[in-house]
Amino acid sequence: MNFLRNTIGVLVGLGVAGVLISLGVRLNSAWITYDEFAPFQHWETLLMAMEHKPYFFVALLISSGIAATVGGVITAIIVKYAKVAYAILIGFILLFIAMLDIIIFPYHPTFYKILIFLTFFPFSWIGGKITEVIYERKKRRLKRQMHRKSAAQ
């Protein structure tokens, strides 16, 4: 049962991260020059058009960091054990997808290729740690309440 729960947690985290990255790309309406929402069909054309506009890739890095953090939090909330490890798994999968993107479409600037490594792992780790800290605080608070109840009796 935990395997199913963990798999669902990872898939939901990846889905949320993918949606946030897609929204980050669509942030500026001047970047999107096509009518229908088909990001994979037009991705190469978009990258070629933005090759000499670094602010697009900065926005893509920022949205990737936010997406990795939120995806890590969502995954860590859903899984039962090893919350930080599964959040880091989200970062690894997102980094793998980003590396495939860089290999398939060579229109990314060098700073993006370097910084993408420094984006996914730390931010997904932070997402897992946020959830872990919140759960630990909640556990300690419940322990204190139980201790107070037993001391009052």
For residue 18, the number of C-alpha atoms closer than 13 Å in the C-beta half-sphere is 10
**Matching residue, tokens 């897992």:** 128
Domain that holds residue 86: 2-152
Domain total in the chain: 1
| pLDDT tens column, 100-152 | 988 988 888 889 889 998 999 899 999 999 999 999 999 999 888 888 888 77
44-97: pLDDT as tens digits: 777 777 777 778 888 889 999 999 999 999 999 999 888 899 999 999 999 999
Crossing angle, helix 83-104 and helix 2-25, to 10 degrees?
50
